Amino acid sequence: MTIHISKATRQFHLTNGEMSYIFYIGPTELPVQLYTGPAVQDDDYTFLVHQQSRPVACYPRENDTTFSYEHAFMEYPNFGTGDFRDPAFEVILPNNSPLTTLEYHGYQVLNALPQLDGLPHIRDNQVSGQTLMIDLIDAESGLEVQLYYVILSNMNVIARHVVFKNSGEMHLQLSKALSLSVDFPCADYKLTHLSGAWGRERHVTEQSLGVGTFKIQSLRGHSSHLHNPFFALSESHTTEHQGFVYGFALAYSGNFIGQVEVDNFNQLRAQIGIHPDHFMWELAPGSTFTTPQAFIVMSDSGFNGMSHHFHQLIRMGLTAARWQQYERPILVNNWEATYYDFTEDKLLTIAKQAKAIGIEMFVLDDGWFGNRQSDHEGLGDFTINKKKLPHGLPHLVNQINALGLDFGLWVEPEMVSKKSELYQAHPEWVIKVPHRSAAHGRFQYVLDYTNPDVIVYIDDALSEILSSSPIRYIKWDMNRSMTDVFSSYLDTNQQGEVYHRYILGLYQLLDRLTQKFPHVLIESCASGGGRFDLGMLYYTPQIWTSDNTDAYQRQFIQYGTSYVYPPNTMGAHVSQSPNEQEHRHISLQTRGHVSYFGVFGYELDLSQMHPNELEIMNTQVQFVKQYRKLLQYGRFYRLLNPSKHNYTAWMVVDDKQTSALLAVYKHLNIINIGKKRIKLSGLDPQRYYHVSNINQTLSGAALMNIGFDIPDTSYGELRNGEHKTYDFDSWLFEIKEILNADHDDKQKVSHL
């Protein structure tokens, strides 16, 4: 890992031996990009700069008609000086001019990772790297822009963020401040992103690029169900297993934009950062503003390779050390079993059955606090609902612990109901315009996290609850988007800061709580997967993937989510059949097979289950305990995309390539068609492996290059010993290295 700097050419080359990122200080004293891609030698690449007079171009230097911003690949493009593509930043001066003239002022190289105060960033406990800072100054206004680049030694990741400083005496306004902008000389790429809605989050979406601008975004106050702060650019022939991919992601949980622009010269500009709409930051003299950290990941082994770099970044770079290899507990949540209608006895009945089948944690969901009888009241009050829990929360926790189960609790600390003591005492703590009515969502309103008094109140309330009992898990929910955005706490000239200051307040609160209660595992949630992003994972090691627990729809959701996020971050529970959301009947086996490849748990009434079902569930629990480390921390490979096949398939492989688990899920029976053959990934081609369910021992090379037929019998007539297969059936294959390939392996075929 090295940062090469040439004083003669003023070229900067960041490389770790696998990837290179190269730029130089151009003729106008601004950094100009030269190359981003697989590692190259440290040579002079300034010959790549486009210097040629072009029709109708505008030139920034008086006597030079060969260098135009319109045709240059700018590291952090500005506005209004000849580059007619979208800028990365915009500053409004006191005379309302958006024009700045930044010039290179120097650099620093740090053998450490930058710490972003109040924002998620790469932790330095398990990750090493070097940091380059490029200093740019506008002498007239005193604006200083510091571009930060982090090159990591052990993964193909470059992290970028920007710090704006007002070192002058003018009062400045920052109206746009993206974290990352990268220019490419051609647009011969396919765009991939994750789109969806509530209940069908993060479906893989692919499209070709043409002249124009394509953007993904959120203006909801959270990263949203609709788009995820991630996109990828890949060569047209790229698959899950081969081809070159650039992945872009943002460690942020609020309004964001990800944008790809192709100009009339087929040049491509990729950008990501805080959404500039409804953003205006007051940059007073002496003040600073720091953008969220963004990441570029490069892979020459397809989308699976890209995902492996993101997974490693999350597990080792963003997750707190305590949770990096922590095997997640198997839990049961009472929500779909009882909703708001529960008693202490009912909860204990479910908990006792949970213990009987080997579950490790009981989680009490919504309805335990205030006057909470429905979603119309109670949010914001943290007193115990004595009608439901007459002996109080500590008593219930002690009873659950006495059964041998850990205890978890649902909270929604960012919201308030009008029918609550908190709202009656502090209506000014709601985000809304005074003296105007405001839209509600789920009959609730958003608390003003820009107000320090609100943060203190929530901090104190949650700290009291967490200190009262041995609570080991919190499900942190957030069930509506932001509307009527106005803060009664902030000055009128700061209303453009509300969205971002809200997120800073949220991060501050989460940081306080995780410092005080480091043993409490927090799972975040936002009406399911409405805030599944790198920013939340910095504080909450896992996230509820979707409110939709239907095993068929979850294949699409978990498949897409895995493009960036590893299985140990995805809450994945078995729920009842027919499913509460989709009303679809799917076998308990398939529901288990889907949930295995996430943070496994149950979301149903165990007291109503048939003995045969409880027996299957006990088998599932024991299976997860046996393979939990592999399922949650193995290297994850996507094999069959559910959007392109009648099957979904994925697998996990351990670090030593000695053990793997493969799951295949059928969508619908289709009679009289050809067999489907599946090829595996991630095995050692020289070793031999026994594969259950087909009861064969084959080389890794054979399994990856030839594969085997999925044992689906819906194609035609049954042969001796074959069983009928049905819609939504699934198969789980245990794959284990055989040290002596000549040994007659007698392992039984697994029917888990």
Quote the tokens at residue 561: 């989510």
Among candidate residues 79, 51, 47, the one with its CA nearest the CA of residue 64: 51
Quote the tokens at residue 610: 């048939």
Quote the tokens at residue 95: 């005379």
DSSP string, 96-151: S------EEEEEEEESSPPP-TTS----SSS--EEEEEEEEEETTTTEEEEEEEEE
**pLDDT tier at 305 (50, 70, 90 boundaries)?**
very high
Q: Cβ distance 533 to 524 under 8 Å? A: no
Q: Cβ distance 315 to 633 under 8 Å? A: yes
Quote the tokens at residue 522: 């927090």
Please write the tens of the pLDDT for every residue from 99-109. Answer: 999 999 999 99
Q: Cβ distance 407 to 470 under 8 Å? A: yes
The CB-side HSE value for 123 (13 A sphere, CA atoms) comes to 20
The CB-side HSE value for 241 (13 A sphere, CA atoms) comes to 12
Considering only residues 471 and 66, tell me which one the structure prediction assigns the higher pLDDT: 471
Which of 319-338 are b and which e, b meaning 16 or more Cβ less than 10 Å from the residue's Cβ?
bbeebbebebbbbbbbbbbb
Structure letter (DSSP) for residue 464: H
Quote the tokens at residue 591: 């529901």
Please write the tens of the pLDDT for every residue from 615-629. Answer: 999 999 999 999 999
Please list the residues that pair with 363 across neighbouring strands. Answer: 333, 408
Q: What mean pLDDT is predicted for residues 567-588?
A: 96
**pLDDT tier at 446 (50, 70, 90 boundaries)?**
very high
Q: What mean pLDDT is predicted for residues 432-445?
A: 96
Query: Is residue 446 within a helix (H) or strand (E), and if so which, with residue range?
Result: strand 445-446
Quote the tokens at residue 699: 């080389």
- Decide: residue 345, CB within 10 A, 0-12 exposed, 13-18 middle, 19+ buried: exposed
Handedness of CA 61, 67, 69, 73 (dihedral sign): negative
Q: What mean pLDDT is predicted for residues 521-543?
A: 98
Among candidate residues 180, 165, 161, 167, the one with its CA nearest the CA of residue 114: 161
Residue 514 CA to residue 595 CA, distance in Å, equals: 27
Residue 750 CA to residue 465 CA, distance in Å, equals: 45
Angle at 546 between CA 544 and CA 551, to 5 degrees: 115
Please write the tens of the pLDDT for every residue from 204-249. Answer: 999 999 999 999 999 999 999 999 999 999 999 999 999 999 999 9
Among candidate residues 138, 148, 136, the one with its CA nearest the CA of residue 168: 138
Look at the domain 2-318 and name its fold: Beta-galactosidase; Chain A, domain 5 (2.70.98)
**pLDDT tier at 509 (50, 70, 90 boundaries)?**
very high
Among candidate residues 570, 560, 652, 556, the one with its CA nearest the CA of residue 230: 560
Q: Cβ distance 331 to 410 under 8 Å? A: no
Q: Cβ distance 737 to 687 under 8 Å? A: yes
Residue 72 CA to residue 21 CA, distance in Å, equals: 16
So what's the pLDDT on residue 749?
A: 35
Residue 36 CA to residue 149 CA, distance in Å, equals: 13
So what's the pLDDT on residue 1?
A: 62
- Mean of pLDDT over the chain: 95
**pLDDT tier at 53 (50, 70, 90 boundaries)?**
confident
Residue 231 CA to residue 197 CA, distance in Å, equals: 17
Please write the tens of the pLDDT for every residue from 352-384. Answer: 999 999 999 999 999 999 999 999 999 999 999
Q: Cβ distance 363 to 334 under 8 Å? A: yes
Residue 301 CA to residue 139 CA, distance in Å, equals: 45
Among candidate residues 47, 178, 549, the one with its CA nearest the CA of residue 337: 549
- Decide: residue 484, CB within 10 A, 0-12 exposed, 13-18 middle, 19+ buried: middle
So what's the pLDDT on residue 2?
A: 86
Angle at 515 between CA 165 and CA 632, to 5 degrees: 100
pLDDT at 170 over 70: yes
Residue 153 CA to residue 169 CA, distance in Å, equals: 41
Among candidate residues 508, 514, 524, 496, the one with its CA nearest the CA of residue 455: 508
So what's the pLDDT on residue 743?
A: 47
Residue 241 CA to residue 307 CA, distance in Å, equals: 11
- Decide: residue 55, CB within 10 A, 0-12 exposed, 13-18 middle, 19+ buried: exposed
Q: What mean pLDDT is predicted for residues 410-424?
A: 98
What is the side-by-side order of every strand in the sheet holding 11-15?
A: 2-6, 11-15, 19-25, 31-38
Kindly name the residue from 477, 533, 712, 729 that is annotated as catalytic: 477
Q: Cβ distance 166 to 283 under 8 Å? A: yes
Global pTM reads 0.96
Residue 514's SS3 state is helix
What crossing angle do the helices spanning 393-402 and 452-468 adopt, rounded to 10°?
40
Residue 576 CA to residue 570 CA, distance in Å, equals: 19
Query: Is residue 310 within a helix (H) or strand (E), and if so which, with residue range?
Result: helix 302-312
Residue 152 CA to residue 629 CA, distance in Å, equals: 26
The CB-side HSE value for 23 (13 A sphere, CA atoms) comes to 23
Q: Compute how many other C-beta atoms are within 10 angstroms of the C-beta atom of residue 286.
A: 11
Among candidate residues 555, 511, 551, 507, the one with its CA nearest the CA of residue 531: 507
Q: What is the largest CA-CA distance in the chain?
A: 87
Q: Cβ distance 741 to 697 under 8 Å? A: yes
Residue 189 CA to residue 326 CA, distance in Å, equals: 38
Is 729 in the active site? no
Q: Compute how many other C-beta atoms are within 10 angstroms of the C-beta atom of residue 402.
A: 10
Q: State phi, psi for 271 to the nearest 5 degrees.
A: -140, 150
In CATH terms, the superfamily for domain 322-633 is Aldolase class I (3.20.20.70)
Please list the residues that pair with 332 across neighbouring strands. Answer: 362, 602
Task: Report percent pLDDT > 90 for the chain.
Answer: 90
Q: Cβ distance 251 to 150 under 8 Å? A: no
Does residue 518 have a cis bond before it (omega within 30 degrees)? no
What crossing angle do the helices spanning 611-633 and 588-596 adopt, rounded to 10°?
20
Handedness of CA 104, 110, 115, 119 (dihedral sign): positive
Q: Cβ distance 484 to 438 under 8 Å? A: yes
What is the side-by-side order of every strand in the sheet holding 688-691?
A: 635-640, 647-653, 659-666, 730-738, 688-691, 696-699
Give me the helices (H) in 562-609, please: 588-596
Kindly name the residue from 263, 366, 448, 547 that is annotated as catalytic: 547
Is 547 in the active site? yes
Domain boundaries, the chain: 2-318, 322-633, 640-738
Q: What mean pLDDT is predicted for residues 443-466?
A: 99
Residue 222 CA to residue 478 CA, distance in Å, equals: 10
Domain 640-738 is found in CATH 2.40.30.170? no
Residue 526 CA to residue 254 CA, distance in Å, equals: 12
Q: What mean pLDDT is predicted for residues 571-575?
A: 98
Query: CB within 8 A of 323, min separation 6: which ones?
Result: 521, 541
Q: What mean pLDDT is predicted for residues 577-595?
A: 96
Which residue type occupies 319? T
Q: Cβ distance 752 to 691 under 8 Å? A: no
